[in-house]
Amino acid sequence: MFKAELIERAAKFRSAEDDPTRSLESCPALVLNADYTPLSYYPLSLWPWQTAIKAVFLERVDIVASYDRAVHSQSLDMKVPSVIALRQYVKTSEFPAFTRFNLFLRDKFSCQYCGSQQHLTYDHVIPRRQGGKTTWENIATACAPCNMKKGGRTPKEAGMQLSVKPIRPTSWQLQQHGKAFPPNYLHETWRDWLYWDIELEE
C-alpha cells in the first residue's frame, strides 16, 4: 500500500537573506538541462552541493546562480552554486517507465473512483480474470476501500465510475502533473527557472 501525503500546493520560495548561516546540507543546486529547463519537476532535479562543485571543476556544468554561502579550503574558495546548467543536452525519453510511482503521478496521487489521497494502491479496470492486462490503459490508482468494493468486477458491474480514463502518459504530461507538487524547499534564485503556480508576495 502507498499512503499519499502530498497535497497540491503553491510553490513558496525562501529568501537568500539567510544564506550566510545556512548549513551546506541545505544548499542543493537546481540542475537545468542545456536548454535551461529543469531536468525534472517531480522529483525536482537537485544535486547536493558537493556534487555540484565537483561537476563545475569537471567542466560538465555552468554556474547560473549561487548562494551567498561560500566554501573554503587551501585550494578552493568559491560560492556554493544554487543553479547549474548542463553543458551537454540530456534527451529524455518520450514515454516514462511503467512504475507504481509514475502511475500515481499520472493520477495526481488520487483514487480515480472517489478522489481519496489515502491508502493508495492500483486497480485493474478490466479484471485480470476477465482478460484485463497490466498496462497503462488498464490500470488506475485506487484507494484500498474502493479497490475492495470493486473486487474482480468491471466499474460498470460494480456501479462505480472512473473520473478519468486511463492512458499511457508522455514524460511531458507527468512533468506537468509534477508541477502541482513543489517541494518544501525552494530558493529564490530558482524562481526564474521553475514554472509552478507561484504564490505572490505581499
Q: pLDDT tens-digit profile of 88-143? A: 999 989 999 999 999 999 999 999 999 999 999 999 999 999 999 999 999 999 99
The answer as to whether 47 is a domain residue is: yes
Q: Are residues 138 and 154 in the same domain?
A: yes
Q: Are residues 38 and 133 in the same domain?
A: no
Q: Which amino acid belongs to residue 194?
A: L
Q: Are residues 88 and 33 in the same domain?
A: yes
Q: Are residues 108 and 58 in the same domain?
A: no
Based on its alpha-carbon atoms, the radius of gyration of the chain, rounded to whole angstroms, reads 21
The answer as to whether 152 is a domain residue is: yes
Contact call for residues 201 and 15 (beta carbons, < 8 A): no
Q: Are residues 54 and 154 in the same domain?
A: no
Contact call for residues 193 and 83 (beta carbons, < 8 A): yes
pTM for the model: 0.76
The answer as to whether 183 is a domain residue is: yes
Q: Are residues 87 and 187 in the same domain?
A: yes
User: Taking 50 as the threshold, does the pLDDT of residue 6 lie above it?
Assistant: no
Per-residue pLDDT averaged across 62-91, rounded? 93
Report the domain count for the chain: 2
Q: Are residues 42 and 73 in the same domain?
A: yes
Percent of the chain beyond pLDDT 90? 72
The answer as to whether 19 is a domain residue is: no
The answer as to whether 1 is a domain residue is: no
> Domain of 161?
100-169
The answer as to whether 39 is a domain residue is: yes
What CATH number does residue 142 fall under? 1.10.30.50
Q: In which band, very low, low, confident or very high, does the pLDDT at 198 lie, cut at 50, 70 and 90?
A: very low
- In whole angstroms, give the CA distance from residue 129 to residue 109: 26
Q: Are residues 105 and 164 in the same domain?
A: yes
Q: Are residues 88 and 184 in the same domain?
A: yes
The answer as to whether 83 is a domain residue is: yes
Q: Are residues 32 and 61 in the same domain?
A: yes
In sequence order, the β-bridge partners of residue 71 are: 78
Q: Are residues 39 and 73 in the same domain?
A: yes
State the average pLDDT for the chain.
Answer: 89
Give the N- to C-terminal CA distance of the chain in Å, as an integer.
Answer: 41
Q: In which band, very low, low, confident or very high, does the pLDDT at 45 lie, cut at 50, 70 and 90?
A: very high
Three state DSSP letters for the chain: CECCCCCCCCECCECHHHHHHCCHHHCCEEEECCCCCECCECCECEECHHHHHHHHHCCCEEEEEEEEEEEECCCCEEEEEEEEEECCCCCCCCCCCCCHHHHHHHCCCCCCCCCCCCCEEEEECCCHHHCCCCCHHHEEEEEHHHHHHHCCCCHHHHCCCCCCCCCCCCHHHHHHHHCCCCCCCCEHHHHHHCCCCECCCC
Q: Are residues 107 and 148 in the same domain?
A: yes
The answer as to whether 78 is a domain residue is: yes
pLDDT score of 76: 76
